[in-house]
Structure 1
Amino acid sequence: MAGRKFIVEADGGSRGNPGPAGYGAVVRDGDTGQILAEAAEFIGRATNNVAEYKGLIAGLKAARDLDPDASVDVRMDSKLVVEQMSGRWKIKHPDMQPLAAEARTVLPRGQVSYSWIPRERNKDADRLANEAMDAGKQGKQWEPKARAAAVAVAEPATEPLPEAPAPRAGWAAPADLGTPTTLVLLRHGETPLTPQKRFSGSGGSDPGLSEKGRWQAERAAEALAARGTVQAVVASPMLRTRQTAEAVATKLGLEVRIEEGLRELDFGDWEGLTFAEVMERHPDDLTAWLGSPKVKPTGSSESFTTLTHRAGVARDKILARYPGKTVLVVSHVSPIKTLVRLALGAPPDSVHRMELAAASLCAVQYYADGNASLRLLNDTGHLR
């Protein structure tokens, strides 16, 4: 959607200059000031200036991921970076030159402007940079903190998904936050691998729906059509999710928008194997994977930490594109569990304690102040 405006606030720091360094960045809606995305990273030993430039690059990339056509106002408390990127000061230091060049390639120059702000107005980016450095001190990498959440008892399957319910007592959600954005999370229907409980991720054979899976997709479509609240459909690019989403979208008269960040985790060498087979062939790797979100499956390109980042970016893109709407998000076990976990503020290992049946429904509502509320979990009433 052309014409959108974002504000990027970025910062970086080094405890020693040079020393242990990290950066932070936030992307705000240019009209409301709402934070749409956050980024932070511990980068090891570096100077303040290097960390500041890396924060700038991360903020620009986060804005580009939300909308590559938006105009971006970068605001930083680094006079050096602002003046150099504005073209008023020369970039002489060899460490700065490639970083500045990379920053210029993220978005067309005409879409980006730079402004200096005092440090007290850059608190969110500064906070993220310090969180990243604190994580690095503990030998960890920064992870996005979940939005504050409250849990409500899920409505019966026969009731419509609420578009704008009044928060229940104890939720402490102000009445002036406007209509929340509701993400209805639908796991795809069964594939030939599902009943056998085989790992089936983005690095595998990409199977389509089985006959039962197509039946499940149709039942989900009928149930969602009866509720009458879905206004947009977004899906993972994988075949089984596209087939499920298209069944619902056809019933609702909507189009399917593909979001790459909603794809399943890459399970590497575990693709197509059962849990028992993985335990037999890769016991140490499986145990390590279950014990840490940073561990990748054998031969995989990503961990749950990586998945959490891309799923969070995908979520924020959807929330920014459809404010106040009810959006059907058709995805997989791992991304859906991750979005539920983030909404609840639950620890990373909680994803291994959730059950999501094929073609089940979950629902999360997001308010303008960043609060999230889980409304539904693993609803299979439409399949009975």
Structure 2
Amino acid sequence: MNGAHGGRGRRIVLWRHGQTAWNVERRFQGTTDIELTDTGRAQARRAARLLAALKPDAIVASDLRRAAATAAELAALTALAVTHDEGLRETYAGSWQGLTHDEIVERHGEQYAAWKRGEPVRRGGGELETEVAERAAPVVERALEKLPDGGTLVVVSHGGTIRTTIGRLLGLEPRHWEALGGLSNCCWSILGEGARGWRLLEHNAGTLPEPVLGDDD
């Protein structure tokens, strides 16, 4: 086992939950505890079959039902216990929560525009993206400390939280986190550990990674 000074070759799979009714309606969920749709559960089952092939060593998940139910599909196939942590919840967005995309643009247009420009914004009076990273990334780092060399950790969370966590783990400045595009329902991103730290190997993937062959491997 490796501790904080760790061996190399570990992987982190950051997996977004399956579809909810609010996703379909383009309604901002944040920390609202919305369940998966039947489609979302089917997405989770399909993705779990693929991710089980990576032979994960541990699963940590947000305690919100949409993430917990997604994680449960992988747990059922791998016989791993899921550790739930509220630090992996989606961004709290105050008055934005429950509004559709169009309603947010209509009612909070200036705030929305500032956020899209990369300015630090408390959307709806909620959390800054840096605050989300500050609560979520340590959850991932604590789980990593328990992994064996070459081990794989699956983190089941939410689109915004995953993006900020990737940004933090890669050492990107917060204003560049938006460069990481969003994740589709039940898609995932994979970070691999190398000699100079974490590298983004896959982003918004729905298939298993292929080896990189060529001049940049």
User: Per-residue CA shift, 1:92-122, capped at 9, x if unaligned?
Assistant: xxxxxxxxxxxxxxxxxxxxxxxxxxxxxxx
Counterpart amino acid of 1:297?
R
1:238 aligns with 2:67: no
Aligned match of 1:223? 50
Aligned match of 1:195? 24
**SS in structure 1 of the partner of residue 67 of structure 2:** helix
Aligned match of 1:186? 15
Question: Partners in 2 of 1:323 and 1:313 — Cα distance?
Answer: 18
Question: Partners in 1 of 2:108 and 2:91 — Cα distance?
Answer: 18
Q: What is the correspondence of 1:1-384 to structure 2 with a 5 Å cutoff?
A: 34=5, 178-202=7-31, 204=32, 206-225=33-52, 227-292=53-118, 294-300=120-126, 302-324=127-149, 325-353=151-179, 354-367=181-194, 371-381=197-207
Alpha-carbon deviation of 1:292? 4.5
Q: Which one has more relative contact order, counting CA pairs under 8 Å at least 6 apart? A: 2
Q: Which runs of 4+ in 1 moved over 6 A?
A: none
Asked if the contact 1:362–1:376 (Cα under 8 Å) also holds between the matched residues in 2, the reply is yes
Counterpart amino acid of 2:14?
L
Aligned match of 1:171? none
User: Per-residue CA shift, 1:198-219, capped at 9, x if unaligned?
Assistant: 21111x2x11100000000000
Aligned match of 1:174? none
CA RMSD of aligned residues (A): 2.2
User: Per-residue CA shift, 1:270-292, capped at 9, x if unaligned?
Assistant: 11222221111112222233334
Alpha-carbon deviation of 1:370? 6.2
**SS in structure 2 of the partner of residue 193 of structure 1:** helix
Question: Partners in 2 of 1:250 and 1:224 — Cα distance?
Answer: 12
Question: Partners in 1 of 2:46 and 2:92 — Cα distance?
Answer: 28
Aligned match of 1:172? none
Alpha-carbon deviation of 1:318? 1.5
Counterpart amino acid of 1:327?
L
Asked if the contact 1:193–1:200 (Cα under 8 Å) also holds between the matched residues in 2, the reply is yes
Counterpart amino acid of 1:189?
G
Alpha-carbon deviation of 1:307? 0.8
Kindly name which structure, 1 or 2, has the bigger radius of gyration based on alpha carbons: 1
Structure 2: give runs of 5+ residues left out of the alignment: 209-217
Asked if the contact 2:27–2:100 (Cα under 8 Å) also holds between the matched residues in 1, the reply is yes
Counterpart amino acid of 1:198?
R
**SS in structure 1 of the partner of residue 14 of structure 2:** strand
| Superposition TM-score, scaled by structure 1 size | 0.50
**SS in structure 2 of the partner of residue 189 of structure 1:** coil
Give the % identical residues: 33
User: Per-residue CA shift, 1:66-88, capped at 9, x if unaligned?
Assistant: xxxxxxxxxxxxxxxxxxxxxxx
User: Per-residue CA shift, 1:10-29, capped at 9, x if unaligned?
Assistant: xxxxxxxxxxxxxxxxxxxx
Alpha-carbon deviation of 1:293? 5.2
Counterpart amino acid of 1:200?
Q
* Equivalent residues, number: 205
Q: Tell me which moved more, 260-269 or 322-331.
A: 322-331
Structure 1: give runs of 5+ residues left out of the alignment: 1-30, 35-176
